[in-house]
Chains A and B, each alone.
Chain A
Amino acid sequence: DTGVSQDPRHKITKRGQNVTFRCDPISEHNRLYWYRQTLGQGPEFLTYFQNEAQLEKSRLLSDRFSAERPKGSFSTLEIQRTEQGDSAMYLCASSLAGLGEQYFGPGTRLTVT
């Protein structure tokens, strides 16, 4: 299966701790996106990369959030000093530049206690 993969699938952490998630896109895709989904809502855009360059960030992405895609392949999303409001499903997607379809991974469910 060469789809988008995410790790871990679930993360439970205590408030104030730092967490890091990983996303591996479809191998030939040069664009990678992060979204966040809370209960009863659709996914909300956080940020996206084209190759290793982070080209857009949502205002939802506070200073406690940072994303990287160091070699233009996998990406990491780190949340520092987690808060209960960070509890959500974090989704990664990838696409080819110039095409509208984005393909999503299974997500990482974060629970902050």
Chain B
Amino acid sequence: AQSVTQLGSHVSVSEGALVLLRCNYSSSVPPYLFWYVQYPNQGLQLLLKYTTGATLVKGINGFEAEFKKSETSFHLTKPSAHMSDAAEYFCAVIPTGGGNKLTFGTGTQLKVEL
């Protein structure tokens, strides 16, 4: 079954530093890829998604992700972290042609320090 792996369950960065959250997918056929953010005790909010076309995807709150087929990766980045970015981030996948059921990674907790 299609899956995604998020390396690092916890990531800590200083405010203003680069944010890099890693996500790798398992498929020979590129799936549809998503990043969601979850703030404490809340549901999920879509940050960005990759379907087809441009491999660099820009999302909300200054986040972007690059689809790299050769590396089967879809890492999430933000040039400068803000305290409000502290949250849980989930990478998710829908297999190409596989309906609309999302499979989530295990999540990465981002901590932003002063």
- A, B co-complexed: no
Q: Report which B residues bind A (CB closer than 8 A).
A: none
Q: Report which A residues bind B (CB closer than 8 A).
A: none
